[in-house]
Amino acid sequence: MILTLTILLAVIIAIAWAAFNAAYLVLAERRGAGVIQRRPGPNINGPFGLLQPPLDGIKLMAKQLIIPAGADRFMYISAPVLVMCPAIMSFVALPYSDWLQAQNIDVGLLMVFAFASMGTMGTIFAGWSSHNKYSLMAAMRSVSQAVAYEIPMILTALTITLMAGTTNLNAIVAQQSENFFHWNIFPLFGETHNILMPFSFLIFFICSMAETNRAPFDLGEAEGELVAGFHIEYGSMGFGLFFMGEYANIVIGATLATIFFLGGWSCPFGLFPGVWWFLIKLYAIIFTIIWIRWTFPRTTIYGLLNLSWKILIPASLVNLLLTAGLMKVF
Amino acid sequence: MNQPVELQPDETFVLNVGPQHPATHGVLRVKMEMNGEYIVHAETVVGYIHRMHEKMGEVKPYPQFLMNLSRLDYLGAMGYSHCHALCVEKAAGIEVPKRAEYIRVLMVELNRVSSHLVWLGAFIMDLGGFTPLLYTFQAREHILDMMERITGARLTYCYIRFGGVSRDIDDQFIQSARDFMPYMRKELIKYHKLITGNIIFKKRMVGMGHISPEMCRKYGASSGVARGAGINFDVRRNEPYSVYPELEFEVPVYDGCDNMSRYMVRMEEIEQSLRIVEHALDQLPDGPVMPKKAPKIIKPPAGDYYQATETARGTFGVRLVSDGSQTPYRMKLRSPTYSNMHLFDEACRGLMIMDAMAMMGTLDLVIPEIDR
């Protein structure tokens, strides 16, 4: 009974954390865009515009859900759920400090990637069921993009697994906990020293941006040509779920980058390790992603696929091989 | 309803882009025949904002038609009324004081800068970069404020009158225009740093969206489209009018025939316009801005008159057929974007939709000006 309650509580906290982040990252994004674009951004509702996300949520929920004529009703309704739910499920396995974790799963890494891949299903469902040529084209793009970028991303994760010898996310962080030079991105000391790691981090970072459909890889929702992309026919909370799912995925990508490469909750100088260090690193990465979005134009679909198939996949394969070789030699 | 459809091996579908679409900047409609993401054929459908300006020109007396001219192209309105005024003055034989002509050129060039700034921001937005729009609009705001003080309007000016301009410029305007020059040059460097050097931007621009000089000649394209294809033609220099022969400027020409060439031509045109403004301010003569005896009623002698000017969007022409009465017999407005737009079908064939949209951005379309 107590165990069930604990698990329930953990899941509720995971959902709350995902939803809170998704909602307030929208605000952070808009304020960040404001700073970059020399304008205030949303600052009217509440202090610093802090009431904007709940009010947006109320507005979206109050809107009528319109299902377009000719749409496949079941797929149309299930698509936003399929985007949001796997994202929330992934949070269950993510550790934020040595004790702050919903479930310490031994195959945590595998679980996160398994759920992350399911989000693509939501995208293709939405694109197909909306009965709209724009959304169909966007869904086609999103799927080819997701397939292309999942491969180098998982190959890079495999490199990490190879070095760490475990898929337990908690254990991966524990290995890097001593100080800055033990972090996986720059490992000079410890058992896992490997000069290829900054390179792996770059691949992982690019892939996680592409996986989450973020600019400059946001081809699935390129408003210049496809108006709004795969969620063109969605209004109300259906759109809201797509939106929140996107931000939840960004948090997952940034969290994984922090765990894999930046030493999780460990401090650069070995002082006071804890969840605050994790959050600093997490939001630094997220800020970088926001920054990139508001400075770069969008790539083309073939440019995007060429980058993956011709550069990132061979590079990550070589990276994996060399890492294995280095581990054998040293 | 859900009957299985037999697949054809080379089946295409029609994508209806517009009349309301974020990339067409107005109510242009493009019927695209698509093969997957590749365009097989595109048909531009115009007329959604047709307001029969030419007909209005034929039923109204000349002075009443003045304000219609600035409703053609709401971004570079001054150049259009300039052309019309020059044509009517030529027909009716009205002398324009030197100072008025300088002020006209000053305003037209400032307006050209503001128009190009809007183009730049909107074009980068087509490519998916949002930030430059805000930057260019901030710079444009300075121009609009300056011009509003003198002309009384921010977009649809009725400043240029037959024989001169409605109001003289003052010291404050001259000072703010002089202050604007170094500011705008600094901004331009910033844009080049932010946009031109960007690797994604370069990939989408260099060698993309080929428009050959033959195509330009065939469709009568002008402005950056023609000059980006290596055609060295600018009405200001080739068929001089107004006081342009007395001013120093260069005509930027690039022969890459691609998006990048057209982009670079427009960016350098901003610099050249700044140079013209500076020079015009230096040479500004004293005197009246309207002739002493400006005719109240304009009755040009019967005949056929034509005047072309270089507006922000290209060669704009006014053909005026007068029968000696208070209203023209025929008023033909040759709008530059109408010609530029018709390139789109031929130039976009075989391109992917996103490259076609980028190419359309470089054409600098303003829809009310196409439909008139």
Q: Virtual CA dihedral for A161, A164, A167, A169, nearest 10 degrees?
A: -120
Is the ipTM value over 0.85, yes or no? no
Q: Does A73 touch chain B (CB under 8 A)?
A: no
Number of H helices, E strands in chain A: 12, 0
Q: For the segment A13-70, what is each residue's pLDDT rounded down to a tens digit?
A: 878 888 888 888 888 888 888 888 888 888 888 788 888 888 888 888 888 888 888 8
Positions of chain A with pLDDT lower than 70, given as ranges: 102, 178-182, 186-194, 220, 223-224, 270, 330
Q: What is the DSSP letter of A308?
A: I
Out of A218, A219, A297, name the one closest to residue B127 (CB).
A297
Each residue's pLDDT expressed in tens, for chain B with a length of 372 residues: 456 656 566 778 888 887 887 777 778 888 888 887 888 888 888 888 888 888 998 898 888 888 888 888 888 888 888 999 999 988 888 888 888 999 999 999 999 999 999 999 888 888 888 888 889 998 999 999 998 988 888 888 888 888 888 888 888 899 999 999 999 999 999 888 888 888 888 888 888 888 889 988 899 888 888 888 888 888 888 888 888 888 888 889 988 888 899 999 999 999 999 999 998 998 888 888 888 877 778 888 888 999 999 988 889 999 989 888 888 898 888 889 888 888 888 888 888 888 888 888 888 888 888 888
Q: What is the CATH number of domain B63-287+294-337?
A: 1.10.645.10
> Is the pTM of the predicted complex or chain greater than 0.80?
yes
User: Domain of A179?
Assistant: 2-329
* Helix/strand/coil (H/E/C) assignment for every residue in chain B: CCCCCCCCCCCCEEEEECCCCCCCCCCCEEEEEEECCEEEEEEEECCCCCCCHHHHHHHCCHHHHHHHHCCCCCCCHHHHHHHHHHHHHHHHCCCCCHHHHHHHHHHHHHHHHHHHHHHHHHHHHHCCCCHHHHHHHHHHHHHHHHHHHHHCCCCCCCCEECCEECCCCCHHHHHHHHHHHHHHHHHHHHHHHHHHCCHHHHHHHCCCCCCCHHHHHHHCCCHHHHHCCCCCCCHHHHCCCCCHHHCCCCCCCCCCCCHHHHHHHHHHHHHHHHHHHHHHHHHCCCCCCCCCCCCCCCCCCCEEEEEEEEECCEEEEEEEEECCCCCCCEEEEECHHHHHHHHHHHHHCCCEHHHHHHHHHHCCCCHHHHHC
If we measure between CA atoms, which residue out of B256, B257, B247, B253 comes closest to residue B266?
B253
Q: How many domains does chain A have?
A: 1
pLDDT at B265: 92
CA of B123 vs chain A CAs: smallest distance (Å):
10
If we measure between CA atoms, which residue out of A234, A201, A187, A212 comes closest to residue A293?
A212
Phi and psi, residue B308, nearest 5°:
-115, 145
Q: Do A216 and B128 touch (CB under 8 A)?
A: yes
Q: For residues A183 and A263, is the Cβ–Cβ distance under 8 A?
A: yes
Q: What is the DSSP letter of A38?
A: T
Question: What token pair was written down for B147?
Answer: 């011009």
CA of B355 vs chain A CAs: smallest distance (Å):
8
pLDDT at B4: 61
Question: What token pair was written down for A85?
Answer: 């739910």
Q: Does B351 touch chain A (CB under 8 A)?
A: no
Q: For the segment B179-196, what is each residue's pLDDT rounded down to a tens digit?
A: 999 999 999 998 888 888
Question: What token pair was written down for A105?
Answer: 């799963």
- Residues in contact with B282: Cβ distance below 8 Å, sequence separation at least 6, in sequence order: none
Q: Do B354 and A300 touch (CB under 8 A)?
A: yes
Q: Do A222 and B128 touch (CB under 8 A)?
A: yes
List C-alpha distances in Å: A284 to A90, A182, A277, A291, B163: 21, 19, 11, 10, 62
Q: Does A210 touch chain B (CB under 8 A)?
A: no
CA of A139 vs chain B CAs: smallest distance (Å):
12
Instruction: Report cis status (omega within 30 of 0) of the bond before A216.
Output: yes
DSSP string, A39-88: S--S-SSSGGGTTHHHHHHHHHHHS---PPTT--HHHHHHHHHHHHHHHH
pLDDT at A182: 67
Chain A residues touching residue B127 (CB < 8 angstroms): 224, 297-298
Chain A residues touching residue B24 (CB < 8 angstroms): none
Burial environment of residue B143 by CB neighbours within 10 A (0 to 12, 13 to 18, 19 or more): buried
Q: Does B130 touch chain A (CB under 8 A)?
A: yes
